[in-house]
Amino acid sequence: MSDESTLRDYQHVRLLAIRSLFEIIEQSSEGTVIVDKQARIVWMNERYARRYGLEQASVAIGQEVEKVIPCSLLRQVVETGQPILLDMLDTPGGPLVVMRLPIHDDAGTVIGAIGFALFDQLKNLAPLVTRFMQIQEELASTRSLLQARQAKYSFAHFIGSSAASMEIKRRARRGATSESPILLLGETGTGKELLAHAIHHASARAHKAFVGVNCAAIPENLLEAEFFGTAPGAFTGADRKGRPGKLQIAEGGTLFLDEVGDMPLAMQSKLLRVLQEHEYEPVGSNEIRRCDVRLVAATSLDLQAAVDAGRFRADLYYRLNVLPLLVPPLRERLDDLPALCEAMLEVLPGHHELAADALNLLASHSWPGNIRELRNVLERAALLSDETLLSAAALSAAIGRLNPIVKTTPSTPGPASLDTANFYAAREAFERELLRQALVEAAGNVPQAAQRLGLGRSTLYKKLLALGLSS
């Protein structure tokens, strides 16, 4: 078949389709009217004429459309050439849902317009409107959920300009630019969760959800369902519609596992599969779902010791320990105390300030509860004090038992206390602290730290790797 024959057939089919479409709409609609370029009626069907009180449609021919159909917008369609696909039109018999289209000649010039009254029973639109409202509610709910799952803190909320604080923020910012798992280590109350929020906030996933799970707070028999979700009717009492798990909610974003060291061993193996294969199965389902989440974990436990004791899987530990960040305790960043206290007192009622002796007292406490304990002490002192200037006595009463910082000096053990194990353990601990301090003083610059220590750069890298320190 030639191109010319194909084109001719296409035009023929197109004309048939246009005619069929017009006939179908005209026959099923409540009314049809056609106007010319001056918006004068050139044709109207009888149903439409009767709705406007005309004995027959021929009476309307030649009249301006607004005289027969008040509030008609067909003139606007003729003048602009733009269709009005769905609109409401008030008529003597009640409102109509109408559609208005321009009519073009072969040259594409607008020569008139046609209007269809699609139907007069607005209840026919109810399913469409209901579905539209459902979609709008689902979108609003999704936006609200996503907004609620956004990171609450940035690096600006991690207060402190001490060397230890600046170093941990520097490393965390570097980690935020990668997709590798991050393991936040440190004592309770040091700000590990705040840093997890900040890492997500500074990452390429910041526009997606940040979902946190406290592995120690969820009963072991519910932890799997919490992570992976459930299929409809997966078990007695399960949601009939199924329930999304934290992995599904965090899709495209960050999943934060707090107190990951308390995760049961059975759950650890399933989490390892998620990290390695990027897939999981909801509870009670055979469906395998792909997942794309960035993992940040935190613990106050010594995971290496937990691995040695068989309480934590070694393979999961190595998978999580790609980028370990040791969050320093408050006693190692006492230079941050003034800024921390000022920020905490600002949000407490009463506009309290600290006396000089009060700040000295705070600097002598070892802060086993770290930042969380400091906030608790300041709030208690502010509530119990009648003065806006908080003295050392007020802080001492709020602290209760003072745990003074014990500054130890290296001592030479007697011959009876020496053995091979103690020697190598002590040497490793000394090297780790020496290298860590050199990195802090060099602001993480390995070549500079190596120069300070009198080591070659490659030698320092090997030692850092052997001692489990990240550069």
Is the CB of residue 96 less than 8 Å from the CB of residue 124?
Answer: no
pLDDT, tens only, 218-249: 888 888 888 998 887 655 555 567 788 899 99
- If asked whether residues 202 and 103 sit together in one domain, one would say no
The residue with greater pLDDT, 436 or 192, is: 192
Where does the pLDDT of residue 42 fall: very low under 50, low under 70, confident under 90, or very high at 90 and above?
very high
- Per-residue DSSP letter, 471: -
- Per-residue DSSP letter, 329: P
- The structure tokens listed for 66 are 């607004």
User: Residue 386: what pLDDT?
Assistant: 86
Give the SS3 label for residue 46.
Answer: helix
The sheet with strand 210-214 has its strands ordered as 210-214, 254-258, 294-299, 182-185, 323-326
- If asked whether residues 304 and 163 sit together in one domain, one would say yes
Share of the chain above pLDDT 90, in %: 41
CA 287-289-292 angle, to 5 degrees, is: 175
User: Residue 176: what pLDDT?
Assistant: 94
The CATH number linked to 209 is 3.40.50.300
Where does the pLDDT of residue 127 fall: very low under 50, low under 70, confident under 90, or very high at 90 and above?
low
Mean predicted lDDT score pLDDT of the chain: 82
- If asked whether residues 77 and 159 sit together in one domain, one would say no
Of 373, 399, 425, the last residue of a domain is 399
pLDDT, tens only, 163-198: 899 999 999 999 999 999 999 999 999 999 999 999
- If asked whether residues 160 and 292 sit together in one domain, one would say yes
Where does the pLDDT of residue 268 fall: very low under 50, low under 70, confident under 90, or very high at 90 and above?
very high
Is the CB of residue 58 less than 8 Å from the CB of residue 141?
Answer: no
Per-residue pLDDT averaged across 132-140, rounded? Answer: 60
Per-residue pLDDT averaged across 115-144, rounded? Answer: 61
The continuous run of DSSP H or E covering 103 comes out as strand 96-104
- If asked whether residues 168 and 229 sit together in one domain, one would say yes
* 285: alpha, beta or left? (left if phi > 0; alpha if psi -120 to 50): beta
pLDDT, tens only, 322-360: 999 999 999 999 999 999 999 999 988 888 999 988 998
Sign of CA dihedral 48, 53, 55, 58: negative
- If asked whether residues 315 and 348 sit together in one domain, one would say no
- If asked whether residues 219 and 194 sit together in one domain, one would say yes
Where does the pLDDT of residue 412 fall: very low under 50, low under 70, confident under 90, or very high at 90 and above?
very low
Where does the pLDDT of residue 200 fall: very low under 50, low under 70, confident under 90, or very high at 90 and above?
very high
- If asked whether residues 52 and 108 sit together in one domain, one would say yes
Residue 254: CB partners within 8 Å, gap ≥ 6? Answer: 151, 196, 199, 200, 203, 205, 208, 209, 210, 211, 293, 294, 295, 296
User: Residue 51: what pLDDT?
Assistant: 85
Distance CA 161, CA 176 (A): 20
Q: How do strand 110-119 and strand 323-326 relate by DSSP bridges?
A: unpaired
In Å, how far from its chain's centre is CA 8?
Answer: 56
Nearest to 30 by CA among 91, 75, 111, 104: 91
5-9, 75-79, 102-106, 410-414: least confidently modelled range: 410-414
Question: Is 165 inside a domain boundary?
Answer: yes
pTM listed for this prediction: 0.59
- If asked whether residues 360 and 438 sit together in one domain, one would say no
7 has a pLDDT exceeding 60: no
Question: Could you report how far apart the first and last alpha carbons of the chain are, in Å?
Answer: 73
- If asked whether residues 90 and 102 sit together in one domain, one would say yes
Most confident of 85-99, 113-127, 406-420: 85-99
User: Residue 414: what pLDDT?
Assistant: 46
pLDDT, tens only, 43-56: 998 888 888 888 89
User: Residue 417: what pLDDT?
Assistant: 45
Where does the pLDDT of residue 409 fall: very low under 50, low under 70, confident under 90, or very high at 90 and above?
very low
The continuous run of DSSP H or E covering 114 comes out as strand 110-119
How far lies 267's CA from each of 203, 289, 316, in Å? 27, 17, 11
How would DSSP label each residue in 146-197? HHHTS-S--GGGS---SHHHHHHHHHHHHHHTS-S-EEEE--TTSSHHHHHH
Is the CB of residue 40 less than 8 Å from the CB of residue 62?
Answer: yes
| Domain enclosing residue 340, as ranges | 331-399
- If asked whether residues 263 and 280 sit together in one domain, one would say yes
To 10 degrees, what angle do helices 163-176 and 420-441 make? 80
User: Residue 446: what pLDDT?
Assistant: 77
Is the CB of residue 406 less than 8 Å from the CB of residue 439?
Answer: no
User: Residue 96: what pLDDT?
Assistant: 82
Residues, the chain: 471
Per-residue pLDDT averaged across 147-157, rounded? Answer: 75
pLDDT, tens only, 273-329: 898 999 988 888 888 899 999 999 999 999 989 999 999 999 999 999 999 999 999
40 has a pLDDT exceeding 50: yes
The continuous run of DSSP H or E covering 36 comes out as strand 31-36
14-18, 183-187, 370-374, 383-387: least confidently modelled range: 14-18
The CATH number linked to 382 is 1.10.8.60
List beta partners, residue 254: 210, 294
Per-residue pLDDT averaged across 419-432, rounded? Answer: 64
- If asked whether residues 17 and 93 sit together in one domain, one would say yes
